[in-house]
């Protein structure tokens, strides 16, 4: 009996261990996991925020983002967006003017019970990545939450600070405007430097004065009656504005100094502030590389579609802004912008060259955008990047960027299309024939000239044979 009791107790311990062990392992996995995205992550990465039960609810995110007017949860496709990337990404639709608010405030992608992928102010048409799971692999989207936001326009307030000078009968007073937070620091000769910052929900207009130096008011009156106190030093404040000239790679800094002198008021026998005067000092300096990258665009050369043989390419030439140095020989990212879905992006490209058009293949079996092979025959399709055939915006980015619309080459039996009527994949190599979407290639002119000469020769030979036959 005792042996059976011990055996049953041991069995209970084993069963309890089997239940507890996975919980301990899962807890340790979640605790030890680091916020590192897998190297092969599909989509644009958000911020990894630890998962808990509260983060599964829309109320949690609405409270976390004060500008959110409403939040929605979905495990599939809705009017707001859809699951893309083979279940590994979420892509939002364009924001509808009929919806509450005016923008996407936050997107939260749920996958597993370790992380949330959080994207603030997400863009429509961008595929955002699901977070990694406990094993460090990108997880499939289980559901996603999106919140609509309403842009808060801050109230403009102008900071003001004035004061009265002391008299024989009363001390001086300081008057500070509303809607402003004030911070004071000690100045020279007993003065106080007051700096204004906007209060919550407020903003300052551009170019206003935000700092004042207030003298020690208690020392401005040195005597009364006919004794005139010493004139205080004038007050000065500075503001500056910088403009960028990409053509000359020059930054122009305009520094405005405002001076307000004290004037004697004979009636009150006090020094009072007079009218302010301003003066500008203009200086120039070379733009920094960071300023060039942030403010100056790429310089475009020839950008067009081109056919090499019957294969379509994007041909392009770019020049970096003067003074900007790329960090590699292949710094360009080229994006074919899809107005209705996921963009086509190719990274690490040189500043000039040819890029195979999306959906095209230069090797057998050859392919073209908007076509697919079905049972050995070419048939038209809405897929395979068909959206690039009707004119597409192409964006070139290094740090500066440049965008333009490029037309797909005019389709014909020789260029940018399968054989007329569908047909089967070509098996012979044709001599390269370059045709662009915006002009005529010199190769075409040469080929046309050769054909013309050949035709003239045929006509001449036929005429000679007729004359020779008539003589005989």
Q: With 0.85 as the threshold, say if the pTM is over it.
A: no
Query: Nearest-5° angle of CA 150, CA 154, CA 160?
Result: 175
Does some domain include residue 32?
no
Would strands 143-149 and 352-356 be described as parallel, antiparallel, or unpaired?
A: unpaired
Does some domain include residue 277?
yes
Does some domain include residue 13?
no
Contact 34, 115 (CB under 8 A): no
Q: Are residues 299 and 273 in the same domain?
A: no
**Domain-terminating residue out of 287, 310, 333:** 287
Question: Which ranges constitute the DSSP H helices of 133-279?
Answer: none
Q: Are residues 131 and 189 in the same domain?
A: no
* pLDDT tens over the chain, length 472 residues: 444 444 444 444 444 444 333 433 333 343 444 458 999 999 999 999 999 999 999 999 999 998 899 999 999 999 999 999 999 999 999 999 999 989 999 999 998 889 999 999 999 999 999 999 988 899 999 999 999 998 877 888 899 998 888 877 777 888 888 888 999 999 888 889 999 998 888 888 888 899 999 888 877 765 565 556 778 889 888 888 888 787 777 878 888 999 998 988 866 667 888 889 988 888 888 877 777 767 777 778 888 888 888 899 999 998 888 878 888 888 899 999 998 899 999 999 998 999 999 999 989 888 999 999 998 899 999 999 999 988 899 999 887 777 788 888 876 656 778 876 566 665 434 333 344 443 333 322 233 333 333 333 333 333 333 333 333 3
Q: Are residues 137 and 232 in the same domain?
A: no
Does some domain include residue 10?
no
Q: Are residues 190 and 274 in the same domain?
A: yes
Give the count of domains, the chain. Answer: 4
Would strands 155-156 and 202-203 be described as parallel, antiparallel, or unpaired?
A: parallel
**Domain-terminating residue out of 103, 133, 149:** 149
* β-bridge mates for residue 70, sequence order: 148
Q: What's the distance, CA 422 to chain centroid?
A: 41
DSSP string, 112-156: TTTEEEEEESPPTT-EEEPPB-TTSSBPPP-EEEEEEE----PEE
Does some domain include residue 112?
yes
Does some domain include residue 16?
no
* β-bridge mates for residue 118, sequence order: 47, 108
Q: Are residues 72 and 125 in the same domain?
A: yes
pLDDT for position 185: 94
- What is the span of the domain harbouring residue 177? 155-287
Q: What's the distance, CA 250 to chain centroid?
A: 25
- Among 235, 222, 94, smallest CA distance to 161 is for 235
Contact 90, 84 (CB under 8 A): yes
Q: Are residues 159 and 244 in the same domain?
A: yes
Does some domain include residue 26?
no
pLDDT for position 238: 84
pLDDT for position 225: 54
Q: Are residues 232 and 129 in the same domain?
A: no
- For the record, the structure tokens of 189 come out as 């000769």
- For the record, the structure tokens of 468 come out as 């020779």
* β-bridge mates for residue 345, sequence order: 335
Q: Are residues 219 and 195 in the same domain?
A: yes
pLDDT for position 329: 87
3-class DSSP state for residue 264? strand
pLDDT for position 223: 57
Q: How far is CA 96 from CA 69, 80, 117, 129, in A?
A: 14, 9, 24, 23
Q: Torsions phi, psi of 17, nearest 5? A: -65, -40
Name residue, tokens 């007017």.
69
Q: Are residues 466 and 426 in the same domain?
A: no
Does some domain include residue 31?
no
pLDDT for position 413: 54
pLDDT for position 444: 29
Name residue, tokens 């740090």.
399
Q: Cβ–Cβ contacts within 10 Å for residue 120, how many?
A: 13
Q: Are residues 378 and 469 in the same domain?
A: no
Q: Are residues 300 and 417 in the same domain?
A: yes
For the stretch 398-427, what's the b/e string if a residue is b when 16 or more beta carbons lie within 10 angstroms of its beta carbon? bbbebeeebebbebeeebbbbeeeeeeeee
In the chain, what is the straight-line distance between the N-terminal and C-terminal CA atoms, in Å?
Answer: 134
Q: Are residues 431 and 326 in the same domain?
A: yes
Q: Cβ–Cβ contacts within 10 Å for residue 144, how many?
A: 27
């Amino acid at each position: 009996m005792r042996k059976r009791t011990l055996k049953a107790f041991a069995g209970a311990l084993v069963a309890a261990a089997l239940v507890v062990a996975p919980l301990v392992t899962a807890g340790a996995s979640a605790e030890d996991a680091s916020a590192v995205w897998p190297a092969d992550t599909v989509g644009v990465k958000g911020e990894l925020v630890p998962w808990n039960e509260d983060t599964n609810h829309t109320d949690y995110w609405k409270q976390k983002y004060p500008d959110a007017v409403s939040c929605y949860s979905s495990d599939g496709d809705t009017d707001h967006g859809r699951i893309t990337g083979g279940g590994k990404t979420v892509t939002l639709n364009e924001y509808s003017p009929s919806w509450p608010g005016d923008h996407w405030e936050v997107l939260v992608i749920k996958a597993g019970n370790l992380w949330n992928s959080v994207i603030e102010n997400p863009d429509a048409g961008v595929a955002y990545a699901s977070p990694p799971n406990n094993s460090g692999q990108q997880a499939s989207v289980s559901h996603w939450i999106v919140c609509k936001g309403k842009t808060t326009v801050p109230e403009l307030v102008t900071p003001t600070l004035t004061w009265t000078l002391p008299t024989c009968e009363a001390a001086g007073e300081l008057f500070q405007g509303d809607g402003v937070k004030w911070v004071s620091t000690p100045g020279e000769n007993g003065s106080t430097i007051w700096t204004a910052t906007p209060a919550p929900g407020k903003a300052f207009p551009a170019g206003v004065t935000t700092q004042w130096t207030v003298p020690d008011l208690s020392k401005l009156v040195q005597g009364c009656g006919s004794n005139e106190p010493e004139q205080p030093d004038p007050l000065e404040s500075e503001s500056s504005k910088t403009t960028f000239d990409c053509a000359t790679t020059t930054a122009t800094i305009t520094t405005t100094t405002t001076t307000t002198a004290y004037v004697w008021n004979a009636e009150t026998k006090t020094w009072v502030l007079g009218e302010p005067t301003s003066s500008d000092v203009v200086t120039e300096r070379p733009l920094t590389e960071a300023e060039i990258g942030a403010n100056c665009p790429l310089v475009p050369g020839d950008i067009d579609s081109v056919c090499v043989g019957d294969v379509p390419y994007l041909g392009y030439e770019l020049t970096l802004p003067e003074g900007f140095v790329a960090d590699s020989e292949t710094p360009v990212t080229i994006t074919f912008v899809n107005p209705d879905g996921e963009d086509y992006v190719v990274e690490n490209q040189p500043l000039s060259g040819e890029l195979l058009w999306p959906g095209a293949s230069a090797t057998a079996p050859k392919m073209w955008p908007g076509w697919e092979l079905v049972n050995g025959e070419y048939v038209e399709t809405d897929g395979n990047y068909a959206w690039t055939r009707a004119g597409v915006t192409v964006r070139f980015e290094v740090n500066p960027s440049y965008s333009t619309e490029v037309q797909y080459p005019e389709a014909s039996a020789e260029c940018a299309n399968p054989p007329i009527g569908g047909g089967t994949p070509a098996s012979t190599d044709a001599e390269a024939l370059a045709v662009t979407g915006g002009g005529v290639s010199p190769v075409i002119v040469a080929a046309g000239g050769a054909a013309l000469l050949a035709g003239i020769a045929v006509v001449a030979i036929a005429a000679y044979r007729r004359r020779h036959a008539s003589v005989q």
